[in-house]
Amino acid sequence: MNDTFDPRLTGLAQEFREALRLGVYMFRRLDPEGDLTAAQLSLLSMVSGGGLRVGDIAKNLGIKVPSATEQIIKLERAGLVTRQADPDDSRAVQVAITQVGAGAVESANQRRNAMVAELLQGLSKQEIEHLAAALPVIAKLNNSFQN
């Protein structure tokens, strides 16, 4: 790891990490009356693009496999996901979202998007433009981290 970064980048990194951390807390508190917890919604969103192995789900959530399995079992009992053999490795299990699960994600996303849109109304036009301009940069950082 390179420890000779421009000090401004290290400071920016700290501020960025803190903003993301606080943002995660904010999003976890959204929709407290909803049927899905933030962790459940995150897991469902993760598997909505196709099946994922339990180990990959655990890694993406930053938890251990037994904890991920516990969450998956709860979602499976609720009819939101299914577990099936991995077509590439019969020893592994893939988790896939059901139609009911996809509907639950869509409903939760609509409610949460409306809540965030209400928060965004409190921003100035310039602040909204800055936020919109920052999103592609954040997406680029996310993509570079995932690859």
pLDDT in tens, 60-119: 888 999 999 999 999 999 999 999 888 888 888 899 999 999 999 999 889 889 999 999
Closest to 45 measured CA to CA, from 84, 71, 17: 71
Q: What are phi and psi of 86, to 5 degrees?
A: -70, 125
pLDDT greater than 90 at residue 27: no
95 contact partners, CB below 8 Å, separation of at least 6 = 47, 51, 52, 53, 54, 57, 72, 81, 82, 83
How many Å apart are CA 132 and CA 114, to the nearest integer?
Answer: 17
Among the listed ranges 6-10, 15-19, 101-105, which one has the minimum average pLDDT value? Answer: 6-10
Closest to 97 measured CA to CA, from 107, 84, 82: 82
Question: Taking the mean position of all CA atoms in its chain, how far away is CA 81?
Answer: 17
- In tens, the pLDDT along 33-70 reads 677 888 889 899 999 988 899 999 999 888 999 999 99
Q: 3-state DSSP call for residue 53?
A: strand
Instruction: Look up the pTM and report it.
Output: 0.78
